[in-house]
Amino acid sequence: MTTPQLDRRRAQSASAGAAAEKARLAVAELDNRLRSNAELTQQQKQSLRNVEAEAKRLKRSLKTQDRDRVRLTKAHKKAITRAAKTKGRAAESDTKYDKAVLADLIRREKARDLEAAASAAPAPVVATATPAPEAVVEPPAAPVVEPVTEPVVEAVTEPVVEPVVEPITEPIAAPVRATRAARPAAPAKAAPARTGRATTTRTAPAEQPVAARRAPRRATGR
């Protein structure tokens, strides 16, 4: 074979090899693209399945939330009613407690008032009992007039008229002395008596015999 033929065949073989290599590279590239496409498709399908599952889950969640909303609405209404009833019972209990406290306070104040009234009741009795001796001591001057009249009547009954004037001065001094002598013993004996009448009844019997004895002597002397 001549040289030109060899060169031509070599050139043809080289071009055929280059074309084969180029075709192989194209096939390899297409294979890579197919694998990438398959992988992408698989990923997208998985994503779609995941999205569908998420959508289903979200749908179920929405349904659950709707049921919970209805249940919570009913529970809220019941809670409001229960709270109102509880508040009413609390107010009623508070009112009863207030009434009990007021009743207790009233009972204590009433008992305290009764005790104060009972403790203050005997005070006037003591006050009236203490001035009793003073009432006996103060009116000794009043009984002096009463014993004077009694001897005068007895002296008038005598036949002599003149001795009637003289016994007036002496019985006046006699009751004074008798009252002065009776003053120390009067508080002890006259404690139960509250007026001066008891002193007059006690002094009168002692003075009458004196007037009766003195009047006849002077009458007989003249």
**The token pair that represents 177 in the structure block:** 């002395």
The string over 68-81, giving b where at least 16 C-beta atoms fall within 10 Å of a residue's C-beta and e elsewhere, is eeeeeeeeeeeeee
For residue 59, how far is the Cα from the chain centroid?
A: 63
Q: Which residue has the tokens 């002296």?
A: 155
CA–CA gap between residue 193 and residue 183 (Å, rounded): 14
Stated pTM of the model: 0.35
pLDDT tens-place values along the chain, 222 residues long:
567 888 888 888 888 989 999 999 999 999 999 999 999 999 999 999 999 999 999 999 999 999 999 999 999 999 999 999 999 999 999 999 999 999 999 999 999 998 888 888 655 555 455 555 554 455 555 544 454 444 444 444 444 445 444 444 444 444 444 444 445 444 444 444 444 444 444 444 444 444 444 545 554 444
For residue 212, how far is the Cα from the chain centroid?
A: 82
